[in-house]
Structure 1
Amino acid sequence: MIGISANHLSSYLFPAADTEQLEYIKKVIDECDYYILIMGGRYGSLDEEGVSFTEREYDYAVDTGKVVLAFPHGDLTSLPISKSDTGDRMQRNLTDFRTKVMTGRLVREWSTREQLESLVVKAIVRATADYPAVGWVRGDTAASETLLQQINDLRNDNESLKDKLNRALNANKPSLTNLAGFNDVVRLNFYRKPYRGGQQIREDKSFSFSWSMIFVAVAVNIGASKSTGLIGSFIDKYRKKPRQIRNYLYAY
C-alpha cells in the first residue's frame, strides 16, 4: 500500500485540522509500505505548534522506517501566486522543510504534471523491486496460519491422490506386445451344414483377410453384435465371391 502526501492536500483530505487529524494520518501511514511526498509552493496547514501537517506526516514516515519517495518542485518561482505561500514565515518554513527533505535523500524534482506522473511511476516500480513489501490485504480475506496449513495439507493430499490414480491407471493398462499390423493377413475358417440326400453334412472353407479389411468392415458397427449377416456382408464386399462363400457363415 502507498501513502501520498502533498503540500496543501491534507486540508482537503482531513477537514478537522487538530490533533485527531494527525493521529488519523499516522494510522494511515502505519498501513502503508511506501510514502510519497509531493512538494509544491505551499507549506500546508499548521498545527498548534506552527508545523504543517505535511511535515508532521513526513517526519512520522521517516521515524517509522517507511520507504520515502520525495518529489519537490524544481522551480518555485514559476508557480502562480495562487499556488504559493506569500508570507515570509510560511516561505521560510517551506524552505526549511525542502532543505530537510532534500538533505541526505535521493529526490526527483519536477516542473510539469506530466513529468511528475512519469517520475512517480518509475520511482514506485523501482521501490517495489528494491524494497518489496507486504502490501494491503483485506482483513476478512487475510489467511491465518491455521488456514494456510489446511491449504497446504489439502495440496499435499491432492498430489498424493493424483500419484495413486496414475499408478492405478498404469497398473490396469494391458501389456500389448507383438501386435499384428494392418497389412498382416489372417486366415479365417468357415463351415456350413447343408442337407444332401436327406442328410446334414458339414462343409469347410477358409479365406484370407488383412486386418485393415476386417477393421474397416466392423469399425462402423463396433458396438453392435456381430451377426452372421454382418459377416456375410463383409465377405460379399471384400472378397467378391458371394456365391462361393455366402453360406459359410459359421467362423471358427
Structure 2
Amino acid sequence: MNNKKHQIFVSSTYMDLVETRNKVINSILSLEQFPAGMEMFSAANEQQWSIIQRTIDNSDYYVVIIGHRYGSIEPVSGISYTEREYDYAVNKNIPVLAFIRNRNIATLPTEREQDPELTAKLEKFIEKAKTKMCQFWDDSDDLVAKMQTALFKAFHHNPSIGWIRGDQAASPEMANELARLSRENSELRSELDRYRKNNELPELEILLNNEYKISLIYPEIVDGLIKKMQYQKIKKDEIDEKLLPFIKDEEIEEFNSKIPSIEDIDKFNKNKLEYELITNHSSLLEISIANIGIIKATEIYIDLEFPKEVRVFTEEFLEEIKEPKLEIPINPIFNARKKYMESINPFMKNINHYSNLMRPYKDLGNLFLDTKSSNFQSLSRLSNSYLLNNNGYKKLWVEGNSVSIKITDLLHTREIRLPHKLYISPLQEGEFLINCSMMCEQFKSPKNIEIPVIINKNLLDK
C-alpha cells in the first residue's frame, strides 16, 4: 500500500453494535486508514445533520453495518440516521460497502427490534442495501475479516482521492519543477494574449443594394436603333416611272454618296444602345460598408472594378452625356413625291395609289430627319471621372468603370451607407464579376473578393 490514506465513514446503529463497531474502527486504524463516525464528534453549535453531511463529503469510502435494529429516527426525514446517511452517501456517489448480519443468527432481546413498524422499515432498508455491494456476517470477527478484504479490493479497483502528508505531497525537486512550470505557463499566457491582441482584426464587408450580389434587368427592346437594310442605295430602274420626271440623276447620285456606311451604322447603334440603356434602364447603386470584426478599422480604402458588361456613373455624368446623332441625307423621292402630288389633279385623293407608289422607299431617310448633321461621338470616350465628397470622413471617386472609396474609420459591429448617388446600367446579358479590394490600416495585405453581377431579361429566372 502506498502513502495515501483514506477516510472511511462507518455508519451503524449504536446501542446494539457498540462492541462490533469498536472492532471495525480499530481494524480500520490497523490498516493505517482514518475511520470517521458520529460518535467521534459533538454537535457543537451546528445541527447534527449538517455535521454528518460534511463528514461524509470528506470521506473516501462509506461502510454501513446493519444488525437487527433499525436505530434512532431522524425527525426531518422520518427514517433512521443510518438509512439517511446511507442514502446521502449513495447520492454523492461515494463508494458504499454494506455488511448485513445474517437474519438467522441468535441474538439477545436488546439486539433485536421489537416495534413491528420499525422492523418493517429495517427489512425495507436491508433490501435497499442489497442493491449495492454487500456481504453477510455472523459475528464481529467475521465482519472485521470481510470488511478488511473488501476495503483492500476497493482501494485497488475503485481508488479514491485519499490523503497524504503535507511534507510528502511534493519533494523539493518537484516543488522547483512546479514553480518552473508555473512561470512558463505565465509566460505562455502572456505571449498568447499578445498574439491574440496582434491578431484581433477588423472584418470588412461590402453590400451593394443591401445584397452580396447585384441583379439587373436587361430590356426586351431598345428604341432608336437603325436597321442596316433601310439604308440601301436608290436604283433608278426601281423607281416608279410616274416619279422619274421629278427626280434628277444628280440627286440620286448625291443621296447614294451620303448614305452612312455599314461601319458608321454599327458604331452609331452601339453608342445609341448604350445611351438608351444608361438614360432609361439604369438603377440606383447603394454601397454599404460594415465592420463585423472585434476592433475598429481605420484608414479604409476600397476599390471596385466593374466588368465592361455594366456601366457605373454619377448624376453629373448623366447630365453631361449627349444623345448620339447620325447625319442622314433626305431621300430625293420625298421631293419627287411632293412635286408629283402638285402636278396631279388636286381633287384626286387616291391614297391607295399613293401608298403603293411610295412603299418601296417609305423607310429610306425618314429617321432622324430633324437632325442637322453633327457627328455622333462614342460614349466610351466620354469622361466619367468624378470626386464625390459629401462627408468629411467618407470620400468616393469614380474613374471610368471603377469606384474608389475612402473611410476614415469604422467601429466594429457598425455599418455605414455611403451618401453618394451612383447608378449602374446593364450593357449585356449574362453573369459577371465585380473585383473588390479592401484595405485598412490594420491589414497586412488587401482582402480581395468577387461580387456576382446577374443581368437577365427576367429577374424571376434567377
Q: Give TM-score, length-normalised by structure 2.
A: 0.30
User: Aligned-pair distance for 1:11?
Assistant: 7.2
Structure 2 unaligned regions, length at least 5: 1-5, 16-36, 181-462
Task: Write the distance in 2 (CA, Å) between the matches of 1:53 and 1:4.
Answer: 12
Aligned-partner residue type, residue 80 of structure 1: L
User: Aligned-pair distance for 1:44?
Assistant: 1.2
Contact kept? 1:11, 1:45, Cα under 8 Å: no
Counterparts of residues 1-252 of structure 1 (less than 5 Å): 1=6, 2-8=8-14, 12-13=39-40, 20-48=47-75, 49-75=77-103, 78-102=106-130, 104-137=131-164, 143=169, 148-150=174-176
User: Aligned-pair distance for 1:106?
Assistant: 2.8
Contact kept? 2:105, 2:138, Cα under 8 Å: no
User: Aligned-pair distance for 1:92?
Assistant: 1.0
Contact kept? 2:96, 2:133, Cα under 8 Å: no
Q: Could you say what secondary structure the match of 1:120 adopts?
A: helix
Task: Write the distance in 1 (CA, Å) between the matches of 2:40 and 2:148.
Answer: 22
- The structure with the greater share of residues assigned to helix is 1
What's 2:371 paired with?
A: none
Aligned-partner residue type, residue 69 of structure 1: L
Measured at CA, do residues 83 and 147 of structure 1 come closer, stay the same or move farther in structure 2, by a change above 3 Å?
Answer: farther
User: Aligned-pair distance for 1:76?
Assistant: 5.5
Q: Could you say what secondary structure the match of 2:48 adopts?
A: helix
User: Aligned-pair distance for 1:147?
Assistant: 9.3
Q: Could you give the per-residue CA deviations for residues 197-249 of structure 1, whole angstroms, max 9, x where no partner exists?
A: xxxxxxxxxxxxxxxxxxxxxxxxxxxxxxxxxxxxxxxxxxxxxxxxxxxxx
Between the two proteins, the alignment pairs up a number of residues equal to: 152
User: Aligned-pair distance for 1:137?
Assistant: 3.9
Q: Could you give the per-residue CA deviations for residues 167-211 of structure 1, whole angstroms, max 9, x where no partner exists?
A: xxxxxxxxxxxxxxxxxxxxxxxxxxxxxxxxxxxxxxxxxxxxx
Q: Which has the larger radius of gyration?
A: 2
Aligned-partner residue type, residue 37 of structure 1: V
Q: Could you say what secondary structure the match of 1:41 adopts?
A: coil
- The structure with the greater share of residues assigned to strand is 2
Task: Write the distance in 2 (CA, Å) between the matches of 1:42 and 1:94.
Answer: 7
Q: Could you give the per-residue CA deviations for residues 67-94 of structure 1, whole angstroms, max 9, x where no partner exists?
A: 1000011125622111121011111111
Measured at CA, do residues 11 and 128 of structure 1 come closer, stay the same or move farther in structure 2, by a change above 3 Å?
Answer: closer
Aligned-partner residue type, residue 55 of structure 1: E
Q: Which has the higher contact order (CA 8 A, sep 6+)?
A: 2
Task: Write the distance in 1 (CA, Å) between the matches of 2:173 and 2:47.
Answer: 37
Q: Give TM-score, length-normalised by structure 1.
A: 0.52
Q: Could you say what secondary structure the match of 1:114 adopts?
A: helix
Aligned-partner residue type, residue 3 of structure 1: F
User: Aligned-pair distance for 1:43?
Assistant: 0.9
Task: Write the distance in 2 (CA, Å) between the matches of 1:150 and 1:40.
Answer: 53
User: Aligned-pair distance for 1:58?
Assistant: 0.4
Measured at CA, do residues 27 and 94 of structure 1 come closer, stay the same or move farther in structure 2, by a change above 3 Å?
Answer: same
User: Aligned-pair distance for 1:132?
Assistant: 1.3
User: Aligned-pair distance for 1:66?
Assistant: 0.6
Percent sequence identity is: 30
Q: Could you give the per-residue CA deviations for residues 111-146 of structure 1, whole angstroms, max 9, x where no partner exists?
A: 1111101100000000001011221246x65858x9
Aligned-partner residue type, residue 90 of structure 1: L
Q: Could you give the per-residue CA deviations for residues 144-178 of structure 1, whole angstroms, max 9, x where no partner exists?
A: 8x995425679xxxxxxxxxxxxxxxxxxxxxxxx
Q: Could you say what secondary structure the match of 2:136 adopts?
A: coil
Q: Could you say what secondary structure the match of 2:99 adopts?
A: strand
Q: Could you say what secondary structure the match of 1:108 adopts?
A: strand
Root-mean-square deviation (CA), in Å?
Answer: 3.2
Aligned-partner residue type, residue 58 of structure 1: Y
Measured at CA, do residues 147 and 87 of structure 1 come closer, stay the same or move farther in structure 2, by a change above 3 Å?
Answer: farther
